[in-house]
Amino acid sequence: MKQTILVLEQHILEQQRAHPCASGEFSWLLSAITLATRVISAHVRRAGLVDILGETGATNVQGEMVQKLDVIANDTIATCLGYRDNVGIMVSEEDDEPRILKEPDDRAKYIVLFDPLDGSSNIDVNVSIGTIFSILQRRDDAGAGKVMDHILQPGYRQIAAGYVIYSSSTVMAYTTGYGVHMFTLDPSIGAFRLVREHVTMPTSGKTYSVNEAYSRQFPKGIQDYLDWVKTDKAGGYGLRYIGSLVADFHRTLLHGGVFLYPPTLKAPKGKLRLLYEANPLAFIAEQAGGSATDGKQRILDKIPTSLHERTSLIIGSKDEVERVLSFWRA
Ligand code: AHM
Ligand code: MG
């Protein structure tokens, strides 16, 4: 039987032919991200064999302990993007400030925002971790020298977003606004091969994903939802929580259900970051038929006010997100 091999770079080029607004330079940029994630995947696979497990001893801008692999992942993405002359600004969870690569009058029109290694507290125990990215374009109407005006754009302005999960296999999902497409890294050829085109999230699902240890700190409506899922009337819900956003989201995308990180007493605005965690995953969720909200408004409509802004996040199957909201609003 003849087997078709379609790799990510080919797929992006084909998307470009179908949607001529997507330029060749954009494919060039995305290929830098896929290159970086292949390199990160190789590091993750060998992590137990070489001395790259554990903490560096430093604390990042979020107040979290920086892992050695966080630094490797951050540097790898920065290096790969640095070679693309159309990337003007990079924003990373690990960097206090944005990196300005080129001034706005150059043709460097893209802004790449990323969480280089999400779930990094799980690294040492071999649990799935991931990379999340969001791509914006520089605004024509931003004031000269006003870097933050370019960066602090609402999520609906993203022109692409994606994630990579480093797990039993390395999988990438991305969207440019024309559906969600999924690829698996084939280690024998070093390329991401297409496994699913136009991925759709089930509209409902009886799996909820939340750090329930914080439940007493959650808003009353969320506590009510968590009580309800355990009743006979709810009809048999299951709880799954990995503690790596990418991994919990990936399962929710494929099997349905809902992921929640509501406000807590410790993190009254939520823990997850709007620009490079919630926004890209919300874009993917919506493109797959799901939805994402902070409890008050659609994630993609939120106007960011700072680089590392946090948000609460309820994301997943449309009906289940709606059900959580019905409890929260009650
Ligand atoms: P990180 O980006 O520093 O790894 O932090 C984000 C992670 C998410 O991957 C995950 O959903 C969440 O933190 C887990 O938080 P908690 O341990 O409070 O449940
Ligand atoms: Mg993260």
Is the predicted pLDDT of residue 139 greater than 90, yes or no?
no
User: Given the DSSP bridges, would you call strands 238-239 and 258-261 parallel, antiparallel or unpaired?
Assistant: unpaired
| Of the candidate ranges 22-36, 77-91, 214-228, the one whose mean pLDDT is the lowest | 22-36
pLDDT category at 144 given cuts 50, 70, 90 is: low
Could you report the per-residue pLDDT of 66-77, keeping only the tens digit for each? 678 888 899 999
Look up the CATH superfamily of 8-196: Fructose-1,6-Bisphosphatase, subunit A, domain 1 (3.30.540.10)
Is the predicted pLDDT of residue 22 greater than 70, yes or no?
no
* Residue 122 CA to ligand 1 centre (angstroms): 9
Q: Give the Å distances, CA to CA, from 18 to 9, 49, 78, 175, 176.
A: 15, 44, 30, 14, 12
Going by C-alpha positions, the residue among 181, 183, 179, 176 that lies closest to residue 161 is: 176
Could you report the per-residue pLDDT of 244-284, keeping only the tens digit for each? 999 999 999 999 999 999 999 999 999 999 999 999 999 99
Ligand 1: nearest atom to the Cα of 129: 9
CATH number attached to the domain at 207-328: 3.40.190.80
Instruction: Enumerate residues lining ligand 1, CB below 6 A.
Output: 64, 93, 115, 118-121, 211, 243-245, 271
- pLDDT value for 105: 61
Among 70, 115, 244, say which to mutate for ligand 1: greatest number of ligand atoms within 8 Å of CB.
244
pTM value is 0.93
- Where are the domains positioned within the chain? 8-196, 207-328
- pLDDT value for 16: 78
| Mean pLDDT for the stretch of residues 293-315 | 97
d(CA 185, CA 198): 18
* Residue 124 CA to ligand 1 centre (angstroms): 14
Structure tokens at 3: 């087997």
Could you report the per-residue pLDDT of 100-126, keeping only the tens digit for each? 888 766 678 899 999 999 998 888 888
| Mean pLDDT for the stretch of residues 299-310 | 97
Using only C-alpha atoms, the chain has a radius of gyration, in whole angstroms, of 19
